[in-house]
Structure 1
Amino acid sequence: MPDTIDWFFDVVSPFAYLQIEQFDKLPAGLAIRPRPVVLGAILNHWGQKAPAEIDAKRTFTYRHALFRAQQLGIAYRMPPAHPFNPIKALRLTIAMGGSLDAVRAVFRHIWRDGQEVASPEGFAALCEAVGFPEGVAAVEQPAVKDALRHHTDAAIALGVFGVPTFVRNGDLFWGEDATAMFLQCLESDWLATPEVQRVSALPVGVRRSGS
């Protein structure tokens, strides 16, 4: 039986795009289940601000994503405005069957080709670009909306706090920069080593006032 991994993503994240473009580095026997989620709902649940809500962090995040794309040799062009409303684009990945190919096609339209998808015109253009023009109507189906809510709720229940995140046997691997750590854990019992176990169970020394 191949190892099956849930991959939680939101198309609003440039790092999720950079990670999916590196899936060719994953072991051949690995089965990835794409799980679209609403990042905003996850951040609200945990009481977190998005990077774009802190001006200095927003600038750094955009520079870092561009740097990583150039470093990795991945074609990259940001959409004309960010953050944007990703809901319909997320639903589209579900309406198209939820395959990695469908998810990758949506990501590439946004982050490789630099297209906006939040306006009615932009979303219609996305549906045409991925070869699914009926997506304009399909994303309004109750079953599609329910699936996105279900994936988001499931992510929160697992402790997911950001995207992209791999979940394997209950362990979370958050961020494009955790890809190497994830790969090592597929190949070894690194998480079971004494020092990893020690730091994973450290007590809280002090809590910020008001938290």
Structure 2
Amino acid sequence: MTAPLDWYFDVISPFAYLQWRRLRRDHAGVALNPKPVLFAAILNHVGQLGPAEIPQKRRHTYRIVLWQARQAGIPLVFPPAHPFNPLPALRLILAAPDRMAAIDAVFAHIWEHGKPADGIDALVDVARELGVDDPATAIARDEVKRELLANGEEALRLGVFGVPTLKVRDELFWGNDATELALAYANDAATLDAEMRRVDAIPEAIQRIRK
């Protein structure tokens, strides 16, 4: 495994936080090319509700997140409200001089310390830590907005339907629970064996009528 793996993520996702922490802690030799995207735009494109928009799934998802964090030994504290507007945090990551440090700092702010991030005023301390003296101006730069938009358009072209997603060669691996499969495939393409390839083409016996 030599080439960096493209990693599509949104800071709104606690699963993205968990995967980031696991990769950084347990797989330091894995090089990443982080690509912040707006999860809401992906959901709109594929016509899905987010897990936090379905009451029963919301409760289940939050419990699973906390369980996975505890099992992995990763600190996790939910922010005051969720979901929230992640745009300021995503743009701050793109505006910061050190992108990896910015992802670390923003994730720690939101998911380790449980602080709000839905406005640039809530991120002033993080911005200062990252050497961004005027964060409101920095996140409003055209090149920052263009890069976030380009990342999202690229993700949609590839078929990304959720976050976090790792792109390994020509395959996409969605979710924190797909981390080991993605890394195994990165080391050995035969991990996606004949049976895995066969089920890709299983026909649908019935389709649900969508109203």
Identify the TM-score tier after normalising by the shorter chain. over 0.9
Superposed, which structure 2 residues align to 1:131-210 within 5 Å? 131-210=131-210
Contact map agreement 1:117 1:126 (CA 8 A) in 2: no
Asked if residue 25 in structure 1 is aligned to residue 26 in structure 2, the reply is: yes
Superposed, which structure 2 residues align to 1:27-46 within 5 Å? 28=29, 30-46=30-46
Please tell me the residue identity of whatever aligns with 2:162. Answer: G
Runs of 5+ unmatched residues, structure 2: none
User: Against the structure 1 CA distance between its residues 192 and 75, is the aligned structure 2 distance closer, same or farther, given a 3 Å change threshold?
Assistant: closer
Distance between the aligned counterparts of 1:190 and 1:204, measured in 2? 26
Distance between the aligned counterparts of 2:192 and 2:54, measured in 1? 36
TM-score by length of 2: 0.93
1:51 counterpart residue number: 51
Contact map agreement 1:43 1:161 (CA 8 A) in 2: yes
Q: What's the CA shift for 1:162?
A: 0.3
Contact map agreement 1:5 1:32 (CA 8 A) in 2: yes
Contact map agreement 1:110 1:117 (CA 8 A) in 2: yes
Q: Deviations over 1:73-98 (max 9, x none)?
A: 00111100000000010011100146
Contact map agreement 1:93 1:106 (CA 8 A) in 2: yes
Q: What's the CA shift for 1:105?
A: 1.2
Please tell me the residue identity of whatever aligns with 1:146. Answer: R
Q: Deviations over 1:100-130 (max 9, x none)?
A: 2221111111100110011343132432354
Tell me the SS of whatever aligns to 2:75: coil
2:103 counterpart residue number: 103
Distance between the aligned counterparts of 1:172 and 1:110, measured in 2? 26
Contact map agreement 1:6 1:35 (CA 8 A) in 2: yes
Please tell me the residue identity of whatever aligns with 2:92. Answer: L
Q: Deviations over 1:30-64 (max 9, x none)?
A: 32100000000000000000011100111111111
Tell me the SS of whatever aligns to 1:22: helix
TM-score by length of 1: 0.93
Identity %: 41
Please tell me the residue identity of whatever aligns with 1:104. Answer: D
1:117 counterpart residue number: 117
Distance between the aligned counterparts of 1:195 and 1:12, measured in 2? 34
Stretch of structure 1 that moved more, 99-108 or 39-48: 99-108
Q: What's the CA shift for 1:187?
A: 2.3
Q: Give the alignment's Cα RMSD to 1 decimal.
A: 1.7
User: Against the structure 1 CA distance between its residues 48 and 98, is the aligned structure 2 distance closer, same or farther, given a 3 Å change threshold?
Assistant: farther
Tell me the SS of whatever aligns to 2:5: strand
Contact map agreement 2:96 2:132 (CA 8 A) in 1: yes
